[in-house]
Amino acid sequence: MALTLLLGSLPLPSQAGPEEDRLAFVGHYQSLFPEVPIAEYANGIYALDEDARAQWLAIEDFPPYEFSIERGSELWDTSLPDGSQLTDCLGTEINKIRPQYPRYVPNQGVVTLELAINACRSAAGAKRWDYSSGDMIDLTAYLAFEARGQELNVRVPADQPGALAAYEAGKRFYYSKRGQLNFACADCHVTSVGQYVRADRLGPSLGHPTHFPVYRSKLGGMISLHQRFFGCVRDVRAKPFELQSEEFRNVEFFLSYMSNGLEINGPGARK
């Protein structure tokens, strides 16, 4: 289903492709907040809320995710059972690793950074990490930190029909209503962005993947992007999918493509 049928406000042709979708997506936020530079959307709600931004900048003086980065650095340098290290599998240019994901791989579907890490560990004879484990969060935090300043550059290859199918599946998920509350992800983060829910303002979808994993103050710990997806689906009283499920990987693929050109600035800190 084209975005024009789901949003109504975006002037897209009925058979819009990914890049047409992305330009309309960015244009939507530009029309709502013309004073906000597009690059600022990498900062999430802090692009729109000056008071929250001031509090965030104060927190950044002593970032609560600092220990996660340090632990991730140690994990990166730890030898695997076969004597290799993750750099032998994921690459030696540490700042280029995070920007490679998510990506579509034929016969595998969308491969996220977390899937790639576990594939490397399995190949080296190591136990796969749970996707919500501290080790996985810490390592991805470290790789996000090392990639700061690199731009998202997700591709939907035209010569791989499965890539477009995964992208479209992620888009449908994002705009489909679900749960007892009958909400879609886009209801909060596209059509109602900037509005208040209780004491909090709804952040934009644009730039959402750039700053994960994040430290959430109300939880007192780090969470991944898929844990955020899980929480959102649960909060609308629908049954969440498993972390790193095909559904969530496709959503990450779609959202990351929408945020192409924005800089990675994770890990982040949020309420």
Distances (CA, A) of 249 to 6, 112, 175, 227, 238: 21, 7, 15, 12, 18
**HEC readout, 192-239:** CCCCEECCEECCCCCCHHHHCCEEECCCCEEECHHHHHHHHHHHCCCC
Question: Which pair of tokens denotes residue 97?
Answer: 């690793």
C-beta of residue 207 within 8 angstroms of C-beta of residue 37 = no
Closest by CA to 132, choosing from 260, 221, 238, is 221
Cα separation, 236 vs 177, in Å, equals: 9
* Omega of the bond leading into 102 within 30 degrees of 0 (cis): yes
Ramachandran assignment for 250, one of left (phi > 0), alpha (psi -120 to 50 degrees), beta (any other): alpha
The question of whether 232 is a catalytic residue gets the answer yes
- From the candidates 89, 185, 188, 232, which is the catalytic residue? 232
Catalogue the active-site residues.
232
